[in-house]
Structure 1
């Protein structure tokens, strides 16, 4: 078990995500529509708060569990590597990057709606890949795969899925948010820690 008392930001993010998501799902499900990321509401009605609030609600328990498990395993490592303030900047910067790309891609889709911390957590995961590209990750908690191979495959699948998605399609995974979070996580980490890119290049032999 990880000692989350040593990484208070990750602990706080886990608690806030779980408490808000469970409260909304069990007691106020109607709030999901009010807090979700919706380009039409942001662009036409100025509801910019959705760029942040969408990251703290989830569609169901399984959605919440997958995101929180990923944050639990990778968040503490990044928090210790970057320090609490820079780690917090990475988390929320990745979320904004995720929703920023979604806003560009889905700006004409009035039916588009998305929730979940996936964008922010994808940024954390890709930041980890910069520091440890050959560390083994376990896909579905069972299949070992080097972090850099996972990252390349993840980007390829996200781009393919975005291309296949219909212009007015609703539901399913928010691949553009995942891709935006991944890009944001890498770029923000490079800005926060100038050693990150040289370390990555050194580890892959460039």
Structure 2
């Protein structure tokens, strides 16, 4: 339910902003404006997207992984508490994932940033932490990899592309969001139910066989 609310709110604001530049200017991540005290931009940028493709890709990813994480947290921690922590994960991931960019671009008057990718990455990597041996892949590519291996490749590729400064994608937000999503779950379960999620992650990988590491086809 909460995932659908996030998707609906993000989609509504993004849709309105597609034809309203004034709204974009008010909400977009703009480092000099943040430095002047407009701190809300460290969160509001997450309800904006560059175009329909950007929006649909992020919201579809959030739908598939967010509904699982929401259900997992509610089942593990209780309906109310789990829901609160799920929202906390998403909102704080928006903030944390953009901080490296803010530190780097603080004085750049030409930089603009938008999109929920950092928070979505946090949710995806939370899923990877909980289900490292679930198969994941990329649309239209008929090769599926265990989630943990997919995550490693994704991070390495993101670091490479960030260093090359390829395209208009904020790869550092993806990396920071992914790492934060995993840390959030590890700390949350250690403090709330005294569960060692990281040990569970390692044990799932250790008991797998080499045959489990690749799957051709869907």
TM-score interval (norm. to shorter): 0.7 to 0.9
Q: In structure 2, do the counterparts of structure 1 residues 117 and 141 end up closer, same or farther at CA, with 3 Å as the change threshold? A: farther
2-side partners of 1:33 and 1:145: how far apart? 40
Residue of structure 1 in register with 2:164 after alignment: 164
Write the mapping of 1:1-206 to structure 2, written as runs, cut at 5 A: 8-26=1-19, 28-43=20-35, 45-82=36-73, 83-140=82-139, 142-143=141-142, 144-165=144-165, 172-194=168-190, 195=195, 196-205=197-206
CA–CA separation in structure 1 for the residues paired with 2:105 and 2:9: 28
Query: What runs of 5+ residues in structure 1 fail to find an aligned partner?
Result: 1-7
How many pairs does the alignment contain? 193
Where does residue 213 of structure 2 map in the other structure?
none
Does the C-alpha gap of structure 1 residues 201 and 179 become closer, same or farther in structure 2, counting only changes over 3 Å? same
TM-score by length of 2: 0.83
- Distance in 2 between residues matched to 1:198 and 1:92, nearest whole Å: 26
Q: Is the 8 A contact 1:91 1:123 kept in 2?
A: yes
Once residues 125 and 108 of structure 1 are traced to their aligned partners in structure 2, the CA distance between those partners, rounded to angstroms, is 31
Contact persistence 2:137–2:150 (CA under 8 A): no
Give the deviation of 1:109 after TM superposition: 2.7
What per-residue deviation string (whole Å, max 9, x for no partner) do you get for residues 80-103 of structure 1?
111211111111121111111211
In structure 2, do the counterparts of structure 1 residues 70 and 141 end up closer, same or farther at CA, with 3 Å as the change threshold? farther
For 2:124 and 2:60, locate their aligned partners in 1 and report how far apart those are by CA, in whole Å: 12
- From the superposition, tell whether residues 184 and 19 of structure 1 become closer, same or farther in structure 2 (CA, over 3 Å): same
Q: CA shift at 1:145, angstroms?
A: 2.1
CA–CA distance in structure 1, aligned partners of residues 45 and 170 of structure 2: 12
CA drift of 1:162 comes to 1.7
Over 6 Å off, 4+ runs: none
Normalised by the length of structure 1, the TM-score is 0.88
Structure 2: gaps of 5 or more residues: 74-81, 208-218
Q: Distance in 2 between matches of 1:202 and 1:186?
A: 16
Residue deviations 1:165-199 (CA, integer Å, cap 9, x gap): 29xxxx61011111111111111111112232121
Give 3-state SS (helix, strand or coil) of 1:113's partner: coil
Q: Does the Cα contact within 8 Å between 1:130 and 1:197 map onto a contact in 2? A: yes
CA-to-aligned-CA distance 1:45-64 (integer Å, 9 cap, x gap):
11110011000010100000
